[in-house]
Amino acid sequence: MRSSLIGKIEKAKRYAQEPGRVTLSSFTADFHGDNANHVISYAEGKWQCGCDFFSQWGICSHSMALQQMLAGMLPKEALASAMEPQSEEKVTVLREISREQAKQEVQQLFWSRRTLYYSDIAKELRLDLELVVDICRELEENGEVKVDESAL
């Protein structure tokens, strides 16, 4: 009895040196970030993290950090899936609308908010960033909006 337990302890020591023997199929963890704690999980081939960045990109500093920490113990798809920059449906398709139409929408956006960054406008309206900058400049010249030059 005693000798067989000693055998197990020996074996456990050896196993512990070989993390590749373990593949995590799912887990949930509390990640203590610099600014806040985030619940991050991995299950059925998918990462989930409670942080804002993840909701937009499907990847974040927390998921990437865990990929590195657990490299030897994660299944291949856990390393691959989160390394794609963003999932397909998140890719922004720019809209083809007339400049006049775009100008109206940009203007409306300015009426509804206080601070707008060019990149926010472009993302929200799904317009080309250059076009947005151009339109904002024009609106500013007409005195219709105020553009903060540091906002690019």
What residues line the site for Zn ion (CB under 5 A)? 38, 49, 51, 54, 60, 62
Nearer to Zn ion, 51 or 131 (CB): 51
Minimum distance from residue 31 beta carbon to Zn ion (Å): 7
Q: Please list the residues that pair with 43 across neighbouring strands.
A: 46
Minimum distance from residue 54 beta carbon to Zn ion (Å): 4
d(CA 137, CA 140): 5
Nearer to Zn ion, 41 or 107 (CB): 41
Max Cα-Cα span within the chain: 90
Nearer to Zn ion, 59 or 106 (CB): 59
Residue 44, phi-psi category: left (phi > 0), alpha (psi -120 to 50), beta (remainder): left
Cβ 50 vs Cβ 63: under 8 Å: no
Minimum distance from residue 44 beta carbon to Zn ion (Å): 18
